[in-house]
Structure 1
Amino acid sequence: MNEPSRLLTFAHSNSTQLLRLFMAVLMLAVLYGCGVENSPKGNVVQNDSCDAAADPIDCQGFRNQLWLDVLARPDRCAGCHVPGGGGTGNFGAPDVIEAYEAVKANNRIDRNDPANSYLATKVLGGHNCWSDCTANGQDIAGRLVAWLNPTTGGTTQPAEDLGNVASRLENPDPLYDVDPSAEDIVLGNVVPPATPGADQAGYNTHVYGPIVSQYCQQCHSEDAVQAQRQQPYFADTDLANAFNAVVENRKIDINNPPNSRLYLRLAQDSHNCWSDCNSNADAMLAAIEAWKSAIINNPSYVQPVVEGTETTFQTTSRGLTLEQGQVISGGQRVTAGQIALWEFKNDDGDNIAEDTSTIQPKIDLVLNDNVDWVGGWGVEFNPGGRATAASIEDSRKLYDQIVATNEFTLEAWVVPANVTQEGPAIIASYSFSDTERNFSMGQTLYSYEFLNRDTASPLDVTNRANGQPTLITEPNDEDLQATQQHVVMTYDSVNGRRIYVNGEFTGDVDTVTGGALTDWDPSYVFTLGSDVGGANQWLGKLRMVAIYNRALTQEEITQNLEAGVGQKFHLLFKVGHLTDQLPDTSYIWMEVAEFDDYSYLFANPAFVVLDPDSGSLTPTSITSLDIQGMRIGVNGRLPTTGQAFLNMNETISMPNLTDSNNPRHVSLIGTTSATIGGVVTNNIPVKATGTIIAKQRGTNGDNPDQFYLTFENFAGEAGAQSENGTPIPLNYSYPDPVAGLGNSNYIAGMRIFEETNATMAELTDIEVGNSAVRPTFIELQQQLPSGPALEGFTASHQMANAKLALTYCGELVDNSGLRNTYFNQTIDLATVFDTPTSQANIVNTLYDKMIGREKAGEPIAGQPTLQQVSDLLIGSGGLLEQLCPGGSCSGNATRNATILKSMCVSVLSSAAVTTQ
């Protein structure tokens, strides 16, 4: 960030004050297009310190949650409930301790049931509401819970018992009791059953020949000149390659042509139109629709059947979309002291990110057109994107709530777009400009930065006003990664600033302590994605942001990390219709969430009977019900990858279903203990606990993705007999099968720490005990996954994987002998990326040695293709282009060595290596 260019002093001249005032008003007029109230709703406060209270901690909770924003405000309670006022009880007194004692003495609160306290029910009943009585009463109830029971979401809770969750499940709406359906057309050269015309010949006739080969080939072809070459190669001179690129990258939605990316890139983005964009987009859409029509109207066309229903017996569950599930409430978060919360749910579909905290006023944020909503809750900041508070008055809540306590916490779930951003790029900021701020969270390359205006800063007024000196995480630690991370920044006068990433203190110590926040300016504005006005742009996603008026403890930060983020659903796949051995309300129950913009997470399958007395079938017990070979289907197809429950082999028995004391649920994932790599590990899932399934249509629109389950055997009924696929070689020798552990040679999930280390050593041809690597492994051992459960894998585990991979890759690249042997050629680091051939040789070697191919040269089942890896590393917008734009690193051996290590780390720490 540039140093401020002008010196601020406390003795402004009149002209300077007027100029600054004019600039502030002008800026806000541009930002918001609306006026600001002339008079604040401020409190008439004489003493707001709880230090002398009988219970200072409890008093402080009362002060922060209830007194400042409600009781002490003249426009709410302090107009009457003060000494000499007409109200009963002086709980609006301008002295916080007097108000605190009055609330306790007059039975205005119920510590056993805070939400039903007299203070809340009185307002709910219509007593002196300041706006809507229901909303006001609920607001007070929420504040009372946050004060009196802050451990509702405040203390670390054990994992909830399966039965407790099952008891809250509800029978799905009868409207959801429908069979799964298949898409009308499935593109591909080989489709069972065959779909005439849905192959490369049809693509050639309708789209490739008349349009893309003429107008797109100069860029989207492997034969295009390097400066213009862009992937995917859907216009490649080789028709087969072009068709595969269209299918694999889903550039055409043949069942819904207006949703095709080839059309939308022209219609919405005006991407490389060859004449008039509107006409070009219309032509592309007409071509895709003509192709669809030709397929459907072909006399040989046969409506595809749902995979899993080809046999006589229909052994599939009913079909469900994600929105037809029941929302899972997340883990319990800390609420005490929380003054602002943005969950980015977009329930209304507008451009407002609502502040869902209980503290007024709400700081709702206005998203500009360059911010997109993200599936599963979140927002993505594209170039030019930012979110800005709707008014100065709303933002002032931060000043009022934080300056009084002289401590605060800024928490965010962050997904940086890359590790090349500088400035620092501003993730969140309470500021006036790019040189004047109260606090900011930012990114500089692999580091997080924390800027805060503090009276103890040793710098001059100008730099102090800019939050300097900055606290930045050690660059060599690479704490910031381009993956989802939980980032917490705390401030208090004793410790100063502290930064936590994925629950761990980074170890970076603030040199500025003992100060105060009294220099903060109440006229600043809260923003996300950049400073006010758009300076210091940050690119990436935010899944949640929260602010507290106190510094969270390590335990509380860990609790919020474990609570997770995003929207999850209980999906209840009906199976009661498959056999008369079951009540009608029998389901396979799974946790399902949007894992990211490209995939879903399915986890923790269980069998549950919700109401044994309802429906047409009411057996009183279940005896030896076999469930084997479960697969997940999407839109009538069974994906070839991600079928982690294929080896399921469970037998269910539930005696006397009419007795409510007997459990009506059972997990379909058993656990055991085993010795793996010389270490005894407990609670090992016998089968996979979760899996990732690729998105197709997504969750939005009129035709969202529909899921279903199919079984090789369900209660003796034969089901889908799809091929199992080729087993994935693990590149690590497990011990012999352990007695009592079924198939211990394959425990699906994440590699644990010793397995990860052994695998990386094997794949880089470096000894496990290498003197340069061993210390790093010992240091990171506790940070690497200790168990294989997929849902237990966090971003901190991935960070550890990346750090360990960096050590191996550094040893490989820095040692010329190892490097040349590994890549089977003499590597000149100065020119290693100068030609497409040399780039491809690097990628091919990394792919073949770390991911692998089958003998026929095809990718191993379940693994990414060479094309996908190549796109990420050397394709348009890939790693090489980001780190070395325009080939600017030619001749720079040091920079190229870093890039080569980064490519190595990208593959070695990826799921293709670190999952089993």
Structure 2
Amino acid sequence: MKLLHMTLYLTLATLGACSGGSGGGGSERQVVPGQDPGSSDFVYSGPPPASEEIQQFKLNFYDPLAGNDRCGECHTPGGQGKTAFVNQDNVNEAWQAARSVVNLNEASASAVVTRVAQGHNCWLAPGQEQTCATTITGYIERWASEAVASTATVQLSPRRILRPGDTRRVPETFAEAESLGVALSAPGEVLGLLRQHCAGCHTGTAPVPQVPYFASDDDDQAYAALRGRVNLTLPGESRVVLRLDPESHNCWSDCASDAAAMRDAVQRFADNVEQTGVNPELLVSLAQVLEEDGIVATAGGRYESDLVAKWEFREGSGATVADTSGVRPEIPLTLSGDFSWMASWGIRLVDGKAQGGVNGSRKLFNQLTGTGEYTIEAWVAPANVSQEEAWILAYSGGPQSSNLVLRQSLYNYEAFNRSSVTEQSSGGEPALVTDDDAELAQATLQHVVITYDPLAGRRLYVNGVYTGDSDPTGGGLLNNWNESFTVVLGNSTSGTQPWAGALRMAAVHNRALTPGQIVQNYEVGVGQKYYMLFSVAELVEGEASCHGSSGGQRVNYCYVAFEVSQFDDSSYLFNQPFFVNLNPEGGDFDFDIRGIRVGINGRIAPIGQAFVNVNQRVNSGRLGESGVPLSAVGTILPLENGAAYDTFFLAFDAVGGERGLVNDGLEEAFAASLTGADEADVAMRTFDEINATLSVLTGVSMGSGAVSPVTGKTVAETFTAVRRALPGVAQFNAFMSSHQMAATQLAAAYCDALVQDAGLRRQVFPARFDFDAPVASPAINWRGDIVAPLVDRAANRGLLAEDDRQRIIDEVELLITDDRDLKPYVLINGRWVSDPDPAAHTKRDGLIYCENDQPCPPSRTADVVKAACTAVYGSALTMIK
């Protein structure tokens, strides 16, 4: 019977259908059973909500779940459920009951969420329990945000007492793991068990592939998928164990015995990995594990009053993406083709797609045609800028028949919309296309927004900024839309328009958001974010307000907190630390915090230590609503075992006057003054010295009004923006990578202003250099006229040995001449491209010729000079003294 059910499901899942809708045009949609949850059949008729808080509970949690198709059949008086959290007779009593199964501070930790995730009465098809759990999490987060009257508020609470201890790091590669003496692929070992029992789903060649591919025949691929799912410190807590028992996921015999076999295999793996212990001389905080101890700080502060659909890609596994908007009917998306989940919330697509059902997608028809306007919002990271006509998001029936489409073509974003002013087109042509010269589509994470209203028509925004491109047709009515179309992300419904890249979030609003609202959502960012609180109460026992007791157990109140997220599959982002005291009774405290380093799995992280210069006094007088800021910078740290297992701690130079060892034995001391070592022979220029140095080198005044066409800022505005990320002290041992990045940005601003000013250019570069010549002109001497003057000016001619001078000139020359901008460019079909046939375009005069047999105008000479200037003036030649 189970096989028959699966066969029927797969057969239906592959069927296509064609029809003509109200707007005309054929539909190539895919209909999948269980993907079209309709509106609730329940209408509440009991007593009105007794307060505004209960009204928000009703709108955001109760209404979506109270129907008999969800939770109302059981969790109401007379039903089989133990808790009447959707009491159909009285919403006020339902609110009281719901508070016992819901955690408004950490929605994902709510009992009702974990119960559904474990398989309890998910309303979707079998295997989609996580999608149902993610949907309910969205309901609770929306209720919580309204309950505290501000989506930006996150409730911080004391954390468990977890001391940094011995841990085991999962080796990075299969070869490294095998070298330790355990044959992971052998029968009965971890990968052997997974291949034997899980290959029907968890391989890329399975009939219905399910990530992770830890049952793959490829050892490297299988091991890469296994990392992050085994806990070598506590093998019984490994995901590959817990998935079997207690979660009972596809056990091959008895779940308890299967889990025991997997746990023993993980234990044998762990026994071959050496433990790492924390150096006892370090001055350390208590420890935290991101997924277990982090306080979720999801997209607080977003404008979502007009939201109708939202996909956040939280699931991390499976083939379904939840619509977390809270607006029924939801539009869950089915994933197919070549896709993979991102641990930081998102999916990567190569030749895959995420598609909704027809009935659920009809919500967009009803909502958007009802208002006559909309906003499409997406956080995307294109895999490249060479793909064309690649669909990112669409409400469509096929490649030639759509209501709306957002797509990428090379460096351009394109928006299509069917309306009364495009009646001759069933695909929404002509497109609104971003300007070619702006090259707005880039292979990096970007916030892309389309708005549409009946007056202005379409507008495109990238990273919160209006592109300035005007809709060629203007506004119109949405009265010719087709209601039988479906939502599809990453491709067309027929699979003929694949887009390669990462999708981190997509949303639909039934109003055209204002520019301010778009900026607001852009600034909030995207993805899974947490607050991690590291207790320092044990380091300041004399501060009475930093600790207390409850029920005979110690409770800590003083913490150094970070905003933390898993940046990608191999790293974490630690951002903007602050100090907070969570004592509900308040109280006085006053102590110093100096030099913070982040530790992971028993040792100081070897890279990414951006907080070594923290030197703050924290006291009750400085404690605002958001704590005491300690640093405005962030850093990237390497992922080792995964967010469920990596154990973090902080090590300090000093807290409350007590000093700790700043060298944990793995690296040199960061501050020679604390170890008694000799001071370095060189020193760093501080922020004001770097600013003054760049002004002298370029001749550009520190108060210059020249505005960069790239950043839109003057040098003074750039300096203000990066000043806090530049060196604050002259000690060379305190230098960080963030200092270099900030110095490079400031150097780029000064070099931009220099090249813009013809008079200043003549003071730095020989008069013979022709800024109007094409970059490939033989008349240009890059080495003698650009690179050498920059190096000599930065290092003072005569101070460097000639060999050293020539070596630096060689390196800078290689840097710029290896760039494609120095290669011949020609105009082909209205687009500048690297010349495919230089011989055909080079005349006897040595110039490059383009279309119509005319010389190519100079387009990149100034940019290459700016690049060379930035490479020299943003280097150690400028920063070290």
Same fold, TM exceeding 0.5? Answer: yes
Corresponding residue number in structure 2 for 1:699: 642
2:598 aligned with 1:632, yes or no? yes
Corresponding residue number in structure 2 for 1:689: 632
Evaluate the alpha carbon distance shift between residue 855 and residue 119 of structure 1 in structure 2; reply closer, same or farther with a 3 A threshold: closer
Task: Select the residue among 298, 306, 312 that pairs with 1:337.
Answer: 306
2:484 aligned with 1:523, yes or no? yes
Does the 8 Å contact 1:153/1:334 carry over to 2?
Answer: no
Corresponding residue number in structure 1 for 2:15: none
Corresponding residue number in structure 1 for 2:521: 560
How far apart are residue 405 of structure 1 and its match? 2.0
What residue identity is the alignment partner of 1:718? Answer: R
How far apart are residue 342 of structure 1 and its match? 0.5
2:467 aligned with 1:467, yes or no? no
2:450 aligned with 1:482, yes or no? no
How far apart are residue 573 of structure 1 and its match? 1.7
How far apart are residue 606 of structure 1 and its match? 3.2
Q: Alpha-carbon deviations, 1:518-560, whole Å to 9, x = none?
A: 2222222221122222333322222211001222223322332
Task: Select the residue among 358, 363, 383 that pairs with 2:326.
Answer: 358
Does the 8 Å contact 2:57/2:143 carry over to 1?
Answer: no
Corresponding residue number in structure 2 for 1:643: 609
Corresponding residue number in structure 1 for 2:559: 587
Corresponding residue number in structure 2 for 1:601: 573
C-alpha distance in 2 between matches for 1:478 and 1:828: 21
C-alpha distance in 1 between matches for 2:343 and 2:615: 33
Corresponding residue number in structure 2 for 1:328: 297
How far apart are residue 690 of structure 1 and its match? 2.5
Gaps of 5+ in 2: 1-17, 77-84, 96-134, 186-190, 192-201, 206-215, 225-271, 548-553, 664-668, 672-679, 726-737, 803-809, 826-831, 849-855
Task: Select the residue among 724, 741, 745 that pairs with 2:670.
Answer: 724
Evaluate the alpha carbon distance shift between residue 567 and residue 468 of structure 1 in structure 2; reply closer, same or farther with a 3 A threshold: same
Task: Select the residue among 158, 163, 179 that pairs with 1:177.
Answer: 163
Partner SS, residue 697 of structure 1: coil
Does the 8 Å contact 1:437/1:524 carry over to 2?
Answer: yes
2:335 aligned with 1:367, yes or no? yes
Corresponding residue number in structure 1 for 2:353: 387
Q: Alpha-carbon deviations, 1:113-167, whole Å to 9, x = none?
A: 4235599879977889797566995999999x99xx999679996975xxxx5xx
Q: 5 Å matches for 1:30-429?
A: 31=30, 34=32, 76=41, 113-115=54-56, 168-174=155-161, 176-179=162-165, 181=167, 183=169, 254=176, 309=279, 311=281, 314-323=282-291, 324-346=293-315, 349-381=317-349, 384-418=350-384, 420-429=385-394
2:521 aligned with 1:535, yes or no? no
C-alpha distance in 1 between matches for 2:218 and 2:431: 52
Corresponding residue number in structure 1 for 2:398: 433
C-alpha distance in 2 between matches for 1:402 and 1:821: 61
Evaluate the alpha carbon distance shift between residue 901 and residue 417 of structure 1 in structure 2; reply closer, same or farther with a 3 A threshold: farther
Gaps of 5+ in 1: 1-15, 42-68, 82-86, 90-105, 186-249, 271-276, 286-300, 614-619, 656-661, 670-686, 735-744, 746-754, 833-837, 858-865
Corresponding residue number in structure 2 for 1:95: none
How far apart are residue 496 of structure 1 and its match? 0.9
Task: Select the residue among 462, 468, 472 that pairs with 1:507.
Answer: 468
Evaluate the alpha carbon distance shift between residue 576 and residue 845 of structure 1 in structure 2; reply closer, same or farther with a 3 A threshold: farther
Q: Alpha-carbon deviations, 1:827-875, whole Å to 9, x = none?
A: 995499xxxxx99xx9999999999xx9999xxxxxxxx99x9999979
C-alpha distance in 2 between matches for 1:251 and 1:609: 42
2:376 aligned with 1:443, yes or no? no
What residue identity is the alignment partner of 2:310? Answer: L
- Please provide the CA RMSD for this pair: 6.5
Corresponding residue number in structure 1 for 2:199: none
Evaluate the alpha carbon distance shift between residue 509 and residue 128 of structure 1 in structure 2; reply closer, same or farther with a 3 A threshold: closer
Stretch of structure 1 that moved more, 432-441 or 511-520: 511-520
TM-score by length of 2: 0.58
How far apart are residue 335 of structure 1 and its match? 2.6
What residue identity is the alignment partner of 2:290? Answer: L
How far apart are residue 429 of structure 1 and its match? 1.1
Partner SS, residue 650 of structure 1: strand
- What percent identity do the matched residue pairs reach? 25
2:654 aligned with 1:713, yes or no? yes
How far apart are residue 731 of structure 1 and its match? 9.2
How far apart are residue 344 of structure 1 and its match? 1.1
What residue identity is the alignment partner of 2:604? Answer: L
TM-score by length of 1: 0.56
Partner SS, residue 456 of structure 1: helix
What residue identity is the alignment partner of 1:177? Answer: R
What residue identity is the alignment partner of 1:173? Answer: R
How far apart are residue 374 of structure 1 and its match? 2.2
C-alpha distance in 1 between matches for 2:338 and 2:868: 28
Q: Alpha-carbon deviations, 1:63-98, whole Å to 9, x = none?
A: xxxxxx85xxxx836xxx8xxxxx979xxxxxxxxx
Does the 8 Å contact 1:321/1:699 carry over to 2?
Answer: no
How far apart are residue 326 of structure 1 and its match? 1.6
Does the 8 Å contact 1:412/1:487 carry over to 2?
Answer: yes
Partner SS, residue 538 of structure 2: coil
C-alpha distance in 1 between matches for 2:152 and 2:502: 28
Partner SS, residue 361 of structure 1: coil
How far apart are residue 445 of structure 1 and its match? 3.2
Evaluate the alpha carbon distance shift between residue 871 and residue 537 of structure 1 in structure 2; reply closer, same or farther with a 3 A threshold: farther
Q: 5 Å matches for 1:719-758?
A: 719-722=660-663, 723-724=669-670, 733-734=688-689
How far apart are residue 499 of structure 1 and its match? 1.6
Evaluate the alpha carbon distance shift between residue 776 and residue 258 of structure 1 in structure 2; reply closer, same or farther with a 3 A threshold: farther
2:510 aligned with 1:549, yes or no? yes
C-alpha distance in 2 between matches for 1:909 and 1:595: 28
Partner SS, residue 480 of structure 2: coil
Aligned residue pairs, count: 654
Evaluate the alpha carbon distance shift between residue 638 and residue 448 of structure 1 in structure 2; reply closer, same or farther with a 3 A threshold: same
Partner SS, residue 629 of structure 1: strand
Evaluate the alpha carbon distance shift between residue 897 and residue 665 of structure 1 in structure 2; reply closer, same or farther with a 3 A threshold: closer
Corresponding residue number in structure 2 for 1:246: none
What residue identity is the alignment partner of 2:481? Answer: W
Partner SS, residue 351 of structure 2: coil
C-alpha distance in 2 between matches for 1:154 and 1:759: 53
Evaluate the alpha carbon distance shift between residue 651 and residue 511 of structure 1 in structure 2; reply closer, same or farther with a 3 A threshold: closer
Does the 8 Å contact 2:61/2:143 carry over to 1?
Answer: no
C-alpha distance in 2 between matches for 1:474 and 1:628: 49
C-alpha distance in 2 between matches for 1:716 and 1:177: 22
